[in-house]
Amino acid sequence: MKLRTISLACALAAGMVCTPAFAASAKFAAHALETQLLSTSADSKSNSLAAPEASSILNATIRTANKKDLLIGVSLEVGLFTETNVKGKNGSTETAGAEGGVKVTVLVDGQPAAPGQVTFAQRFQQLNATLGGVIESCQVSTTDADGDGVSDGTLVIERDCLVSDEEIGLILSTTAAHHFNFILPDLAPGDHSIEVVAQALSSADVINGTYTSYDPVTGEATEVSTTSNEAQAWAVVGKGSLSVQEVQAVNLKSGSGDSSVLELY
């Protein structure tokens, strides 16, 4: 495969500088799949919160004749689903949270390529609610006790009831990178195996609140725990492709901290 020019932005860590570069030639290997590669799900009802073991989803082999560097591209379809439902009344505070994500590591001959494990997608969702509940029935005197002229037993919520505010808060945070370039410099001559390892993670958890319940006859107060909050999360890796290029680096500049820039020509 002949390459006339190539422009590469190479990031081994945060705070990188993009550097244009040029290439003369490169070898190429690839692997693509058109089926679902990996999935996981969590449900607060079944308490299925543990993440599955990492799975190898794509792989390729490339032969290098001389000491070269590898530029490895991974592209994936990633789907995340999160659902949170809460129920409460009498001022109870309810919480339901769900999280899903997909992380990817590229291994070359069993060793991780830079920059290591990358988060391709991650979402955290948390629903908080303070709920008053639905008024289903009330007992009202049919006499005009307050002298306002109303004696037919009709209850007017705005006038005859004390209603507190209900509160609902939703937190949703998503991070995604559906294509990422990995780099492995100074690779020895010979045959090399490239493996893409993905881990789909999901968790779902709830915090049930409490409210005060009053006996309609005696008026006795009792603290009651709610049990109806629910949360679900799914993480799915769909179609994917792996591309591997053998390239020749001019130099590998080590910057300050964890930064470096790889320049190709």
pLDDT for 155-206, tens place per residue? 666 556 666 777 788 888 787 889 999 999 888 899 999 999 999 999 999 9
Type of residue at 38: L
Task: Tokens 């005859």: give the residue.
Answer: 160
Per-residue pLDDT of 103-115, as tens digits, reads 999 999 999 999 9
Predicted pLDDT of residue 156? 64
Per-residue pLDDT of 67-112, as tens digits, reads 888 999 999 999 999 999 998 888 889 999 999 999 999 999 999 9
Write down the pTM of the prediction.
Answer: 0.73
CB 3 within 8 A of CB 26: yes
Per-residue pLDDT of 211-265, as tens digits, reads 888 776 777 889 989 888 999 999 999 899 999 999 876 655 544 444 445 544 4
